[in-house]
Amino acid sequence: MFLNVSNFVEGVDKAFVFIFAICVFLLVGITAVMLYFIYRYNKKRNPKATQIHGSTSLELIWTIVPLIIVLVMFAYGWTGWKPMKEKAPDDAMQITAIGRMWSFGFEYPNGKYTDSLYVPQGKPVELDLVSEDVVHSFYIPAFRLKQDMVPGSDKDRMWFIANSPGSYDIFCAEYCGLRHSYMYSSVVVMPPDEFEQWYADTAAVQPETAGETEMSADAVAGLNILKKNGCNACHSMDGTRLVGPSYKGLMGKTETVMENGEEKQVEIDRDYIVRAIYHPDEQIVKGYQAGQMQSYEGKISEKEIDQIIEYFKTLQ
């Protein structure tokens, strides 16, 4: 529980342990006094109650002692929290952390992109927290760090120095819709030389595509675009219905869609896919909700859509 895996653990845990100890002390103390009073002043042992009217010294004690206690709590809390909000060291590695419904993604200065966060041990890392849709909250419990990702804000940042190699959980800590609970990832801390090697390996710039060797280069690129943009949080490849329809058997199929409140049959071709990705709310697939999928116009080019289509064709 108290492993110093980031530079902030000690400060936060000191405040926590102090507050927890005070709580335990009060719980035990108050319960003991209560039991003693029940025993000592019950009707048998103390038939005639004594009335007390005001006691300046008592008033002073139960005002000043708690005041001191909460001020000490504040002092511990403040000293643990303040360094998180200070500017990151100048040599901090800059990584962009992207949150979207419903996955995290990480972009490194050399263009590398991953689903899990990889960081070197012992070196400061600064995250620029970006949301592509709604408010998410980036939470690394083991590092004692949590910060909201607010769409449109460029001020959401977080920095840390990871001390021990290993893998630690990342959660979204702000309810952000249906599949919020699927929004988890991990931060992998590597010894510096191992990290350098991993980082320099730009052949792996794209997310891992294991076991998909029979696909054409375009189809693989298409799959990577889907992964990179978090499309698969809402769409499955195997026919399973998620928030959106599955990609399986999509190309060439006739789809029933709602356009301006009217039901229509359309054949799924390139134009349809482009419209679905750039203007998702123009034609809503029947049985699904509008307003779930955002427009990817400006984020995904038509050339990339062609690669996505190449990938869709492998799922017939």
**What residues pair up with 98 in beta bridges, in sequence order?**
105, 130
Strands of 166-172's sheet, edge to edge?
117-120, 184-190, 166-172, 136-140, 145-149
Q: Which is nearer to Cu ion, 14 or 180 (CB)?
A: 180
Of 30-38, 167-175, 212-220, 229-237, the segment contacting ligand HEC by CB under 6 A is 229-237
Q: Which is nearer to ligand HEC, 135 or 273 (CB)?
A: 273
Site size toward Cu ion, by CB under 5 A: 4
Residue 133 Cβ, how far from Cu ion at the closest point, in Å? 9
Residue 210 Cβ, how far from ligand HEC at the closest point, in Å? 21
Does residue 149 interact with ligand HEC by CB under 6 A? no
SS3 assignment, position 35: helix
Residue 105 Cβ, how far from Cu ion at the closest point, in Å? 12
Residues 6+ positions from 213 with CB-CB distance below 8 Å: none
Question: 293 contacts which partner out of ligand HEC, Cu ion, none, CB within 5 to 8 A by kind?
Answer: ligand HEC
Single residue of 88, 125, 145, 176 touching Cu ion by CB under 5 A: 176
Q: What is the DSSP letter of 206?
A: S
- Distance between the two ends of the chain, CA-based, in angstroms? 49
C-alpha–C-alpha distance, residues 161 and 7, integer Å:
6
Single residue of 172, 219, 223, 293 touching Cu ion by CB under 5 A: 172
Strand positions, DSSP E, 173-227: 184-190
Does residue 289 interact with ligand HEC by CB under 6 A? yes
Question: 231 contacts which partner out of ligand HEC, Cu ion, none, CB within 5 to 8 A by kind?
Answer: ligand HEC
> How many CB atoms lie under 10 A from the CB of residue 4?
11
Extract the tokens encoding 316. 């017939």
Single residue of 9, 162, 170, 183 touching Cu ion by CB under 5 A: 183
C-alpha–C-alpha distance, residues 225 and 300, integer Å:
8
C-alpha–C-alpha distance, residues 246 and 39, integer Å:
69
Question: 176 contacts which partner out of Cu ion, ligand HEC, none, CB within 5 to 8 A by kind?
Answer: Cu ion
Residue 231 Cβ, how far from ligand HEC at the closest point, in Å? 3
C-alpha–C-alpha distance, residues 256 and 262, integer Å:
10
Task: Give the largest Cα separation in the chain, rounded.
Answer: 94
C-alpha–C-alpha distance, residues 12 and 160, integer Å:
13
Site string for ligand HEC, 186-225 (x = CB under 6 A): ----------------------------------------
Site string for ligand HEC, 242-281 (x = CB under 6 A): -xxx----x----x------------x----x--xx--x-
Single residue of 176, 230, 251, 304 touching ligand HEC by CB under 6 A: 230
Question: 112 contacts which partner out of Cu ion, ligand HEC, none, CB within 5 to 8 A by kind?
Answer: none
Kind of pairing between the strands at 184-190 and 166-172: antiparallel
Sign, CA torsion 131/259/235/267 = negative
Residues that bind ligand HEC in the complex, under the rule CB under 6 A: 101, 226, 229-231, 233-235, 243-245, 250, 255, 268, 273, 276-277, 280, 284-285, 288-289, 292-293, 296, 300, 308
